[in-house]
Amino acid sequence: MTNNKNVLNWVEEMVALCKPDKVVWIDGSEKQLDEIRNLSISTGEMEKLNEEKLPGCYLHRTAENDVARVEHRTFICTRDEKDAGPTNNWEDPKVMYEKLGKMFDGVMKGRTMYVIPYCMGPIGSKLSKVGVELTDSTYVVLNMAIMTRMGQAAFEQLGETSNDFVRGLHSKADIDEENRYICHFPEDNTIWSINSGYGGNVLLGKKCFALRIASFQGKNEGWMAEHMLILGIENPQGEVKYVTAAFPSACGKTNLAMLIPPEVYTEKGYKVWTVGDDIAWLRIGDDGRLWAINPEAGFFGVAPGTNMKSNPNALKSTMQGTIFTNVVHNLDDNTVWWEGLDKNPPKNAVDWKGNKWDPESGVKGAHPNSRFTAPAKNCPCVSPEFDNPKGVPISAIVFGGRRAKTAPLVYQARDWQNGVFVGSIMASETTAAATGAVGVVRRDPMAMLPFCGYHMGDYWKHWLEMGKKLGDKAPKIFNVNWFRTDDEGHFIWPGFGDNMRVLEWIINRCEGKADAVETPIGYEPKAEDINLEGLDLSLDTLKGLLNVDKDLWKEEAKGIREFYGKFGDRLPTEMMDELNKLEANLNK
């Protein structure tokens, strides 16, 4: 499949280490994938679902001890511990190579090693990168076929001589929780993952490459790998403006990525296009603007709560060619179900653990982190620019979190530097679902805390440097909060499709078509400039949503100062300058 000596030598070395009975190179052809699907069915790894209702769809169950990303078993292995920073688990690369080397030694005896070449980003794009993952899991092969541009085309993208590919080695081994490791060696372009069979730990193109390794590459090569959706907003004149947005988990990122505008907008001819729902790679184009691609080719979405009301486009994306993991198997019609899908749970079913299940069982049928892996091309609102090798030009960057009282509905940063500050202080308050303590503020800068492959202080410095290069062509930066609550704890803003009303103001600000009011934290809309047509929300309520409570923000500033203390001398002085300015504004 390739004559690239760098690839061939590395694969040979890993084969010698893992000692598989057989090595299969994945060319990405439908014929070969069908053989692997049939093999997966015969081994019980997958179950084929109803071909009429869910054509080309399969069900998979992971081990009960292997259902989510494992932060405490995820390591950044840099030669100098300081380079990993205080927010990552660090280990010496020598120590980890030796430790995992012993675990990988002979681990694939009696198994097949699959060699998966894959491209992150559109084939033929200068913004794309290539990876090769070696795995003993057919589940990984079939998911990577959905999530990436996989097969022969990836080797053509790499070329015959390049050494610029990410080396990924994965084995399910014994799915042993105590010996589960997901290790990143950013200085070697290498990822090793062992003893897991679950999505994010083993689909090494996803968070491992697309964020942890790519963020490190981006710092060194002058681009950015971000945990952001990419969205196109088309106005009635047919002009499309693109925004990226970063939110911590459980803040409606996928819902925003696939937003359906309210009727008052669709009637006028507004449309929303999905370029990406999770990850954006951003580079400065020949025109000096910031351009973005989605490095992925599919969606790896959380199933529970996804339904025709919350996110119809996501649900429609799963109707064909999708792999469902850890959901309920409806035996009556050989389809799937999960909590929050509809009000009709199946009476004759099997839960995510493989046990008989019905609504009276007293336990949830689907795991709370159960997933679907769906091809992006299935999405009804997928952007016509999805495969454009140039990417799309970005007008605005949006940050957000889940705050009951502190953050207003929307505000704009004063400039790029202030915007980096706004991203660095991003936070969410814990909900009852997440932990016993409710309302605890968890900082998650740029939603990258678990995914930044190097020191967070250096990461902010890189953001600041990108801003200097962009100059006056830099996108404008905003912060949103859909989650303000009243005194009874009810959400005030309707959210979902109505978030379009806020996006409209954001785009108008980028084009100089909307006014703003200066506040101690940045620029806010005049309440009259948010379109409330067709919405049961008064102007006074909206004014309340835009209110900036100085006392709450003074408390916030103390929390930020404490958080910044973690980063020592690697905290860019600009960040502290912005914090001082904020405090001065609040004390005026």
Binding residues for GTP: 250-255, 371, 402, 496-499
Task: Determine the 3-state secondary structure of 94 from DSSP.
Answer: helix
Distance CA 287, CA 285 (A): 5
DSSP state, 88?
S
The residue written with tokens 């030694």 in the block is 105
3-state secondary structure 356-367: EECHHHCCCCCC
- 368: tokens are 């709370």
CB 314 within 8 A of CB 254: yes
The residue written with tokens 């590919």 in the block is 165
* Alpha helices, H only, 495-549: 500-510, 539-545
Amino acid at position 10, single letter: W
DSSP per-residue letters across 217-244: HHHHHT-EEES-EEEEEE-TTS-EEEEE
Which are the catalytic amino acids?
Answer: 251
Tell me the pairing of strands 349-350 and 190-194: unpaired
Q: Taking Cα atoms as reference points, which of 373, 406, 354, 82 lies closest to residue 200? A: 373
DSSP per-residue letters across 304-335: TT--TTT-HHHHHHTTSS-EEES-EEETTTTE
Q: Taking Cα atoms as reference points, which of 31, 37, 32, 26 lies closest to residue 153? A: 26
Distance CA 134, CA 16 (A): 13
| Binding-site residue set | 69, 198-200, 207, 227, 249-255, 278, 369-371, 402, 496-499
Question: Phi and psi dihedrals of 305, rounded to 5?
Answer: 90, -15
Q: In DSSP terms, which residues pair with 149 in a beta bridge? A: 119
The burial class, CB within 10 Å (0-12 / 13-18 / 19+), for 255 is buried
- Provide the total of helices (H) and of strands (E) in the chain, helices listed first: 17, 30
Q: Taking Cα atoms as reference points, which of 466, 532, 475 lies closest to residue 509? A: 475
Distance CA 235, CA 349 (A): 46
| Binding-site residue set for Mn(2+) | 207, 227, 278
Distance CA 247, CA 253 (A): 6
Distance CA 389, CA 123 (A): 7
DSSP per-residue letters across 167-222: EEEEE-TT--GGG-EEEEEGGGTEEEEES--SHHHH-TIIIIIIIIIHHHHHHHHT
- 424: tokens are 């660095």
Distance CA 132, CA 138 (A): 15
- 344: tokens are 């009709």
